[in-house]
Amino acid sequence: MDPVVDPSRCPRCGAPNVCVMAAGRPDEPCWCTSVTVSEALIDALPEAARGVACLCAACVAEANRGRGRTRGQTPETGI
């Protein structure tokens, strides 16, 4: 059985992800729409967390330092 995913927490480190979608404010811009997320980082997340919980800015920054291909997050899908 998959653990329950908290959409307000980063699925990688458990820190608050500061996602406006998870906070119920979808009309506000979110920090995640202006960054790219490595394919490897997304692939490393538990399947249950993909599209449910956004990563935190610290995990995205750490993973993107010097890493290859990236794709942008979208407000609709999160990760």
Domain ranges in the chain are 1-79
pTM over 0.75: no
Name the amino acid, one letter, at 75.
P
35-79 tens-digit pLDDT: 888 888 899 999 999 989 999 999 999 887 865 434 454 444 454
DSSP strand pairing (36-38 vs 70-72): antiparallel
Q: In this structure, what token pair is assigned to residue 63?
A: 């993973």
67 φ/ψ sector (left φ>0, alpha ψ -120 to 50, else beta): beta
Instruction: Give pLDDT, residue 23.
Output: 86
Instruction: Give pLDDT, residue 50.
Output: 92
7-42 tens-digit pLDDT: 999 999 999 999 898 888 989 888 888 888 888 889
Helix boundaries (H) for 18-79: 39-44, 57-64
